[in-house]
């Protein structure tokens, strides 16, 4: 069929979900255009250089690589030709203020043995916890993450029936923290498992226990790292998309999604008007309605849900190497519950934040000069809501340095060769995410997962949604699943 006769699909935004959606729709038979306001693809999943150091700007944890591989296989390509990655032997290294250190091996048995040796918690307790996480994933993860929740076909599926019979095993009526405390007891180990709430920007003291499926992704399925860094995911998928005919329009900002009589007609951008049979918004769902669908009725209840946390990130070129650090490192706060209260209730940055340090040069040696390291230093913070970040940045920097110095027995100020900072304001500006939210809405209620915006509009025919602010949620794997769901529920061209 000539291209002029092929129905056009327009994807608004070249984030990872938008790129994946474009690939799937092009393969399905649409002629796809991706419109991106920035000059580059990837959304949060981008890169930059700082002197002799290379940094992945955003997501640093890679799980569920099969969802990337699936895109290559779908289009008849060998994944390894485009994209290579390796499985990591450890998921993270943990540090506490009292000097306790724990290496979390990816292998469940090794992790359990290490925990028993370091914290005195019997290995079988850790294995019991991971086994429950696996069971929860099998019961709920596959069904509720991979299918649209607004269709009867999902709820009538036999797997849902099986899950319903075992609801008591999904910890739906307890919080993540309560569930972890009941099984693990030890405060440090509870804190370690509570931190998985931050994978979707939530508070473990309010988020439902079913989110404890997340540890299975690391210890059951595994953590991975692309051989050239996280931005290789973006680069490889853009190349695949272009190879199969997807057109990217960079520096083209969509100003309006055109709707007539409840049906999508196309979009209007700063460069022109385009007709389309189908439009997919990869923009955060709130600005999609507030800016691109101003004349349409917005789902106010959905848009008013509590947002996820944001991040303050320091990118440091470090003139020293630290053998005690790994690819992923967590330096815990003394009082975890207070930290989350300050973020979600006080709407102010935490006074004693948990600090995450990612060092991609541990794997990709060329990311830093020999004997040096590239530190991606992140703390969870509230969404931007009028805070003065110019005042908060130096305060946070001082807190972080003061926290890390004694634990690493070094004066970090003396070994920082260069530095840049990313604030919630910049995250919002670059990615259109409300307030710089990393994951759209939080999961700080029992029903939050079911209140996320659906992947298709209930009122506008031909309008679909993908990305971290809609079902099934934030993070690379779930964003890729949102693309898969969109491609499965939209009509054939």
Kind plus residue range of the DSSP H or E element containing 142:
helix 142-146
At 22, phi and psi to the nearest 5?
Answer: -60, -40
Cβ neighbours, 10 Å, residue 351: 13
Identify the pLDDT of residue 449: 63
Domain count across the chain = 2
What's the CA gap between 359 and 61, in Å, rounded?
11
pLDDT tens for residues 405-439? 999 999 999 999 999 999 999 999 999 899 999 98
Same domain, 288 and 262: yes
Q: Looking at 175, 197, 219, which one is the last position of a domain?
A: 219
| Dihedral over Cα of 10, 14, 19, 20: its sign | negative
Mean pLDDT of 19-23: 98
Same domain, 175 and 236: no
Same domain, 190 and 234: no
Q: For residue 247, with 0-12 CB atoms within 10 Å meaning exposed, 13-18 middle and 19 or more buried, which class applies? A: middle
Same domain, 211 and 231: no
Confidence of residue 1 (pLDDT cuts 50, 70, 90): very low
pLDDT tens for residues 291-333? 999 999 999 988 888 889 999 999 999 999 999 999 999 999 9
For residue 364, being part of any structural domain is answered with: no
Same domain, 140 and 203: yes
For residue 401, being part of any structural domain is answered with: no
Mean pLDDT of 84-88: 95
For residue 267, being part of any structural domain is answered with: yes
pTM (global) more than 0.85: yes
Confidence of residue 86 (pLDDT cuts 50, 70, 90): very high
Find the CATH number of the domain harbouring 261.
3.50.50.60
For residue 136, being part of any structural domain is answered with: yes
> Is the pLDDT reported for residue 147 higher than 90?
no
- Weakest-pLDDT range from 120-129, 382-391, 442-451: 442-451
| Dihedral over Cα of 24, 26, 30, 34: its sign | positive
Confidence of residue 2 (pLDDT cuts 50, 70, 90): very low
* pLDDT > 90 in the chain, percent: 81
For residue 375, being part of any structural domain is answered with: no
Identify the pLDDT of residue 148: 65
Sheet of 278-281, strands arranged across:
247-250, 31-36, 8-12, 278-281, 463-465
For residue 293, being part of any structural domain is answered with: yes
Same domain, 215 and 262: no
Q: What's the domain range around 290?
A: 3-46+66-71+227-302+444-489
Mean pLDDT across the chain: 92
Cβ neighbours, 10 Å, residue 160: 17
Mean pLDDT of 104-130: 97
| Dihedral over Cα of 119, 124, 126, 129: its sign | negative
- Cα separation values, 214 from 161, 223, 459, Å: 22, 12, 33
Same domain, 264 and 287: yes
Reported as half-sphere exposure (CB side, CA atoms, 13 A), residue 166 has a value of 14
For residue 478, being part of any structural domain is answered with: yes
Cβ neighbours, 10 Å, residue 1: 9
Q: Looking at 181, 201, 219, which one is the last position of a domain?
A: 219
At 357, phi and psi to the nearest 5?
Answer: -120, 115
Same domain, 140 and 156: yes
Same domain, 133 and 177: yes
For residue 257, being part of any structural domain is answered with: yes
Q: Looking at 179, 195, 219, which one is the last position of a domain?
A: 219
Same domain, 161 and 208: yes
pLDDT tens for residues 347-361? 777 889 999 999 999
Residue 309 is given by DSSP the state P
CA dihedral 144→148→149→150, nearest 10 degrees, is: -170
């Amino acid at each position: 069929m000539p291209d002029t006769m092929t129905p056009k699909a327009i994807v608004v935004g070249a984030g990872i979900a938008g790129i994946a959606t474009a690939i799937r729709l092009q393969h399905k038979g649409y002629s796809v255009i991706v419109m991106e306001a920035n000059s580059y693809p990837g959304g949060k999943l981008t890169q930059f250089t700082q002197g002799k150091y290379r940094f992945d700007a955003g997501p640093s944890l890679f799980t569920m690589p099969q969802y990337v591989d699936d895109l290559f296989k779908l289009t008849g390509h060998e994944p390894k030709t485009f994209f290579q990655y390796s499985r990591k032997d450890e998921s993270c290294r943990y540090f506490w203020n009292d000097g306790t250190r724990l290496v979390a091996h990816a292998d469940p048995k090794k992790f359990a043995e290490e925990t028993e040796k370091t914290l005195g918690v019997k290995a079988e307790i850790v294995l019991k916890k991971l086994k429950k996480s696996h069971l929860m994933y099998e019961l709920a993860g596959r069904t509720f993450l991979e299918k649209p929740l607004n269709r009867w076909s999902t709820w009538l599926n036999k797997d849902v029936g099986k899950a319903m019979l075992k609801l008591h095993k999904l910890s739906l009526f307890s919080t993540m923290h309560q569930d972890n405390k009941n099984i693990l007891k030890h405060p440090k180990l509870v804190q370690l498992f509570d931190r998985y709430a931050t994978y979707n920007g939530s508070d473990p003291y309010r988020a439902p226990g079913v989110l404890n499926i997340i540890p299975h992704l690391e210890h059951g399925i595994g953590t991975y790292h692309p051989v050239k860094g996280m931005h290789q995911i973006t680069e490889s998928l853009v190349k695949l998309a272009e190879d199969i005919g997807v057109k990217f329009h960079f520096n083209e900002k969509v100003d309006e999604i055109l709707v007539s009589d409840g049906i999508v007609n196309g979009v209007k951008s700063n460069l022109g008007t385009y007709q389309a049979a189908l439009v997919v918004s990869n923009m955060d769902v709130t600005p999609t309605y507030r800016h691109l669908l101003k004349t349409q009725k917005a789902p106010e209840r959905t848009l008013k849900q509590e947002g996820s946390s944001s991040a303050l990130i320091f990118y440091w070129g470090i003139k020293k190497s630290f053998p005690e650090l790994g690819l992923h490192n967590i330096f815990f706060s003394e009082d975890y519950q207070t930290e989350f209260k300050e973020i979600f209730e006080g709407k102010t940055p935490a006074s004693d934040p948990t600090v995450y340090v990612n060092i991609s040069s541990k794997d990709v040696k060329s990311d830093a000069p020999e004997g040096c390291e590239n530190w991606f230093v992140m703390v969870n913070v509230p969404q931007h809501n009028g805070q003065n970040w110019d005042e908060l940045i130096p305060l946070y920097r001082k807190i972080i340095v003061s926290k890390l110095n004694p634990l690493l027995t070094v004066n970090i100020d003396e070994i920082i060769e260069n530095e840049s900072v990313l604030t919630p304001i910049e995250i919002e500006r670059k990615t259109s995410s409300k307030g710089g939210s990393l994951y759209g809405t939080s999961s700080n209620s029992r029903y939050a997962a079911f209140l996320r915006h659906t992947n298709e509009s209930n009122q506008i025919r031909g309008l679909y949604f993908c990305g971290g602010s809609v079902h099934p949620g934030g993070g690379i794997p779930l964003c890729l699943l949102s693309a898969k769901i969109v491609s499965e529920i939209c009509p054939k061209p």
